[in-house]
Amino acid sequence: MALVRDVVAETLQGASLIPVAARSIVTTLPPSANAEVGSLDVVAGHDLLRYLASGLRVFASAPQPALLEELHRRITAGKGFKPTARVLTVTSDHHVVMAQEAAQGMLRGLFKPTDCIRVATAVSELARNIYLYAQTGEVRLTLAEEPDWSLTFSVLAADHGPGIPNLEEILAGNYRSRTGLGKGLTGARALLDGLDIKTSPAGTTIKGFKKSRPPDPLRDQ
């Protein structure tokens, strides 16, 4: 298999760039360029693309969207970047902080700063609910690329706790818990683009997602 670095060099040579510009961009590529074509995940891949976009702006004085699109296609072997996933077991308040950091680390630079905080806060609420009400559970964070390069972050919070008996009351906003402000679930719902809650005495599964908003982080240069 070809390396990302070689494919980038080849693509830039084929483009109408002055050779020294292409060489400068290639010699200063980040370490992720040593991966095989098609193996990069969304976070590493978009980091690389942003690097290439800024490189093209500096050396070729234009963002060159068509060239970037070709680079994207060839780096990913036409399949798009692999989703980035993090799975965290939640058993204490320490894991709540870890979930916040994981969400922030995943989205930093890819989502708008305010959306990063929104998502990390929503993840924090869901993780905290697990440790407060179910003691143990799992939070799965995924960042996936859509065909149009926009990104979708999703969170899956699952536990085998006692379930949420008064879900409707909570979602109606009339509930005030002992431990929080009763804002955890309604807050997470408000901060994300969608939240789906399935709960029973056997456990609770909550799925939420947030899309990166236009302007796309790659073109917003």
Partner 1 sequence: MRLGHCLFVLVPGNLRDAAARELHDAVSARLAKEHGIRGLVIDVSALSIVDSYAARVLDETAHVARSFGSKTVLVGLHPEVAVTLVELGIDLSALDTALNLERALAKLKLRIVSEDEDGPGP
CB 75 within 8 A of CB 116: no
Q: Is 169 in the site for partner 1 (CB under 8 A)?
A: no
Cα–Cα distance list, 206 to 8, 88, 188, 213 (Å) = 40, 15, 10, 22
Q: How far is the CB of 176 from partner 1 (least distance, A)?
A: 10
Q: Which H or E run includes 141?
A: strand 137-145
Q: Is 136 in the site for partner 1 (CB under 8 A)?
A: no
Q: Is 102 in the site for partner 1 (CB under 8 A)?
A: no
Contact pick of 125, 137, 139, 143 for partner 1 (by CB under 8 A)? 125
Residue type, 44: A
Q: Is 72 in the site for partner 1 (CB under 8 A)?
A: no
Helix (H, G, I), strand (E, B) or coil at 77: coil
Q: Is 193 in the site for partner 1 (CB under 8 A)?
A: no
User: Of the two residues 112 and 207, which places its CB atom closer to partner 1 in the complex?
Assistant: 112
Total residues contacting partner 1 (rule CB under 8 A)? 27
Q: How far is the CB of 15 from partner 1 (least distance, A)?
A: 38
Q: How far is the CB of 200 from partner 1 (least distance, A)?
A: 24
Backbone angles phi, psi at 98, to 5 degrees: -60, -40
How many contiguous H segments (helices) and E segments (strands) does the chain have?
A: 8, 5
Query: Per the structure block, which two tokens stand in for 27?
Result: 């010699």
Helix (H, G, I), strand (E, B) or coil at 34: helix
List interacting residues with partner 1 (CB under 8 A).
93-94, 96-97, 100-101, 104, 113-114, 116-118, 120-121, 124-125, 128, 173, 179-181, 183-184, 186-187, 190-191
